Amino acid sequence: MNDQEFREHILTFIAKSEQWMQDASKKLDVINDLQQQVSSMRDELEGTREPETSLSPPEIRVVKGAHEDNPDPLLALAGTLKSDVTDISERHDDYIASALLAELRGDEDE
């Protein structure tokens, strides 16, 4: 291996190391966020802290039509919601994961 090849090899190694450290840092941020959420939930369950929000069940509106007699209230909503998102069926897991991560991080705009 000549000097130029060795230099390129070292530069590649450094770039990969930097990327690995960035990825590790992001993972640590997520772990820290999860740890805070779990701690907060534990405090709420143990009664040492008031809940941050009160959850109420969502209002379900059954739509008249083909699914009117179906006992599944979510199925009754099929086709009744409008959205600019056209790939929801293919990427629903990605959207859910993004929303949960944003919620854990405390992002208000997600």
Domain map (residue ranges) of the chain: 1-55, 57-110
> What is the model's pLDDT at position 26?
81
> What is the model's pLDDT at position 55?
61
pTM: 0.31
> What is the model's pLDDT at position 45?
79
Q: Residue 100 and residue 110: Cα distance in Å, rounded? A: 9
Q: Which two tokens stand for residue 99?
A: 């929303």
pLDDT tens-digit map of 2-37: 888 888 888 888 888 888 888 888 888 888 888 888
